[in-house]
Amino acid sequence: MNHVTDQFDGRDAATLDRLIKKRARPGMLVFELGTYTGRSAMTMLPHIKLMQGKLYCVDWFRGNPGVTAEITTSYQKHNILEIFLNNIKEAGYEDYVTVLVGTSHDVSCIVAQNSADLIFIDADHRYSKVKSDILEWCPKLKPGGVICGHDFDRHLKDCDYNRVLEKCEEDFVDGCHYGVTRAVCESFPYVQWEGRIWYARKGVVEPFKRMAWHGRKALMKPLRTVARRLPFARKMFSLMNNPRLRKGA
């Protein structure tokens, strides 16, 4: 199997394997944005095949501006799409993969809302492009679906923010993909990550928000009890809870 350059290490593969396994279900649909020669696709396909699902690989197979010289050169020396298709055929996954040649933006327009079980983002690493991928593809996830991606080298809180703002429209600087870091952390303040894989679930209340909500409910309960015991307050409490008097009713 030919991967030309190996940008996806064993720890990344183990994390992605765990995420796809946890989300596995019969007939599952998975989208990968940015495929290259298929290293991450090969990690997901055993579970997709087992579930008789489908992997849609989205890539225009031309590379992206500002990437490392090694990757840029690989597109000049090799037919990356052909290598990917050969890898899929050699591994016996042809029936479980559909290749959509185009940009992630163009393809997002033809994908149904609430259709995907998992979306893996590893395309253009510049901030504006990653942010666009997240905004355009999140609605494609089913409730509880997982959106995740590669090259999350460090959290935004561990970076020099001015440096991030300065360099986030470049691919790789200071040993970090600042565009990925900024876009992911802005979109998912409670993002989780292992190694260089980041992930979040659609429709899940983050722990801090959940704690804040329960704390507010706990505070309001005794106030409601006192209000119901006072005649005037009881009347006001009833008026406040009258659905006809609520704003927008």
Q: What is the DSSP string of 38-97?
A: SHHHHHHHHHHHHTT-EEEEEE-SS--TT--HHHHHHHHHS-HHHHHHHHHHHHT-GGGE
Regarding whether 238 and 184 lie in a shared domain, the answer is no
Does the residue 143 lie in any domain? yes
Regarding whether 158 and 107 lie in a shared domain, the answer is yes
Look at residues 229, 219, 247 and name the one whose alpha carbon lies nearest to residue 237.
Answer: 229
* Mean pLDDT, range 96-100, rounded to an integer: 98
* C-beta separation of 211 from 218 below 8 A: no
Regarding whether 215 and 197 lie in a shared domain, the answer is no
Regarding whether 106 and 56 lie in a shared domain, the answer is yes
Regarding whether 227 and 185 lie in a shared domain, the answer is no
Give the model's pLDDT for residue 154.
95
Does the residue 120 lie in any domain? yes
2 or 7, greater pLDDT: 7
Does the residue 138 lie in any domain? yes
Give the model's pLDDT for residue 29.
98
Give the model's pLDDT for residue 123.
94
Per-residue pLDDT of 39-72, as tens digits, reads 999 999 999 999 999 999 999 998 876 666 677 7
CATH number at residue 16: 3.40.50.150
Does the residue 3 lie in any domain? no
Regarding whether 94 and 184 lie in a shared domain, the answer is yes
Regarding whether 236 and 129 lie in a shared domain, the answer is no
Regarding whether 129 and 231 lie in a shared domain, the answer is no
Regarding whether 176 and 231 lie in a shared domain, the answer is no
Does the residue 4 lie in any domain? no
Name the residue type at position 207: P
Does the residue 2 lie in any domain? no
Boundaries of domain holding 156? 10-201
Confidence of residue 227 (pLDDT cuts 50, 70, 90): very low
Regarding whether 216 and 123 lie in a shared domain, the answer is no
Look at residues 8, 172, 194, 197 and name the one whose alpha carbon lies nearest to residue 87.
Answer: 8
* C-beta separation of 116 from 145 below 8 A: yes
Regarding whether 216 and 156 lie in a shared domain, the answer is no
Give the model's pLDDT for residue 205.
47
Give the model's pLDDT for residue 63.
80
Confidence of residue 108 (pLDDT cuts 50, 70, 90): very high
* Mean pLDDT, range 205-234, rounded to an integer: 44
Regarding whether 148 and 68 lie in a shared domain, the answer is yes
Does the residue 212 lie in any domain? yes
Is 80 exceeded by the pLDDT of residue 23? yes
**Number of domains composing the chain:** 2
